[in-house]
Amino acid sequence: MLKRSTNFQIRAVTTPADREMFLDVPARVYADDPNWVPPLRSDLAKEFAPSNPFFKYGKLQQFIALDSYETNAPAVGRIVAAVNQRLIEREGQNVGIFGYFECVKDFEVAQALLEKACQWLREQGMTLARGPIDLSTHNRCLFLVDGFDSSPMVMMPYNPPYYPEIMEQDGWHKANDAYAYDFPLDKLLPAKFEKAYQIACKSGITFRPIKTKGEAFEQDAQNIYHLFNRTFANNWSSTPRSEAEFMEEARSLQSLIDPDVFPIAECNGEMVGFFMGLPDYNIPLKHVGGKLNWLGTLKFLWYRRQIDKGRVIVICSLPEYRRKMVPLALIYLGMQGGMQKGKPYKRAELGHVFEDNLPSRRLIEAAGGKIHKTYRVYEKAL
Q: What is the CATH number of the domain that holds 212?
A: 3.40.630.30
Asked whether 230 and 281 are in contact (CB, 8 A), the reply is no
Residue 105 is predicted with a pLDDT of: 94
CA distance linking residue 357 with residue 364, whole number of Å: 11
Are residues 24 and 143 both part of a single domain? yes
Residue 341 is predicted with a pLDDT of: 87
CA distance linking residue 266 with residue 227, whole number of Å: 11
Each residue's pLDDT tens digit, 51-100: 998 999 999 999 999 987 677 788 999 999 999 999 999 999 999 999 99
Split at pLDDT 50, 70, 90, the class of 33 is: very high
**Residue 23 lies inside a defined structural domain of this protein:** yes
Strand partners, 343: none
Are residues 61 and 142 both part of a single domain? yes
Q: Is the pLDDT of residue 235 over 80?
A: no
**Residue 31 lies inside a defined structural domain of this protein:** yes
pTM (2 d.p.): 0.92
Note down the domain range covering 214: 187-345
Those residues with Cβ within 8 angstroms of residue 349's Cβ, 6 or more apart along the chain or in another chain: 153, 156, 180, 181, 182, 183, 280, 309, 310, 311, 312, 372
CA distance linking residue 354 with residue 311, whole number of Å: 16
Residue 83 is predicted with a pLDDT of: 97
Q: What percent of the chain has pLDDT over 70?
A: 98
Q: Which of 313, 331, 374 is nearest to 197 (CA)?
A: 331
Residue 239 is predicted with a pLDDT of: 77
Number of domains in the chain: 2
Q: What percent of the chain has pLDDT over 90?
A: 74
* The amino acid at 348: A
> Other CB atoms closer than 10 Å to residue 123's CB: what's the count?
10
Split at pLDDT 50, 70, 90, the class of 284 is: very high
Crossing angle of helices 358-366 and 326-339, rounded to 10°: 40
Each residue's pLDDT tens digit, 89-131: 999 999 999 999 999 999 999 999 999 999 999 999 999 999 9
CA distance linking residue 10 with residue 24, whole number of Å: 16
Per the document, the length of the chain is 382
**Residue 59 lies inside a defined structural domain of this protein:** yes
Q: Which long-range contacts does 170-174 make (Cβ < 8 Å, 24+ apart)? A: 170/107, 170/110, 170/111, 170/114, 170/380, 171/380, 172/114, 172/378, 172/379, 172/380, 173/378, 173/379, 173/380, 174/376, 174/377, 174/378, 174/379
**Residue 353 lies inside a defined structural domain of this protein:** no
Asked whether 57 and 85 are in contact (CB, 8 A), the reply is yes
Compute the average pLDDT of residues 352-365: 91
Each residue's pLDDT tens digit, 6-26: 588 999 999 999 999 999 999
Q: Is the pLDDT of residue 171 over 60?
A: yes
Q: Beta strand pairing status for 270-279 and 309-317?
A: antiparallel
Compute the average pLDDT of residues 132-155: 93
> Burial, 39: exposed, middle or buried (Cβ in 10 Å; 0-12, 13-18, 19+)?
middle
Split at pLDDT 50, 70, 90, the class of 353 is: very high
Are residues 218 and 152 both part of a single domain? no
Residue 234 is predicted with a pLDDT of: 72
Are residues 159 and 196 both part of a single domain? no
Those residues with Cβ within 8 angstroms of residue 102's Cβ, 6 or more apart along the chain or in another chain: 25, 26, 29, 77, 78, 159
Are residues 209 and 328 both part of a single domain? yes
Domain boundary among 178, 204, 230: 178
- Supply the DSSP string of 149-199, one letter for each residue: SSPPPTT-----THHHHHHHHTT-EEEEEEEEEEEESSSPPPHHHHHHHHH
**Residue 216 lies inside a defined structural domain of this protein:** yes
Q: Is the pLDDT of residue 286 over 80?
A: yes
Asked whether 33 and 26 are in contact (CB, 8 A), the reply is no
Are residues 313 and 198 both part of a single domain? yes
CA distance linking residue 136 with residue 87, whole number of Å: 9
Q: Is the pLDDT of residue 3 over 70?
A: no
Q: Is the pLDDT of residue 45 over 80?
A: yes
Those residues with Cβ within 8 angstroms of residue 345's Cβ, 6 or more apart along the chain or in another chain: 185, 261, 279, 308, 309, 310, 338, 339
CA distance linking residue 276 with residue 331, whole number of Å: 10
Average pLDDT, the chain: 92
Q: Is the pLDDT of residue 28 over 80?
A: yes
CA distance linking residue 53 with residue 306, whole number of Å: 35
Are residues 86 and 147 both part of a single domain? yes
3-state helix, strand, coil in the chain (%, to 5): 40, 25, 35
Are residues 216 and 132 both part of a single domain? no
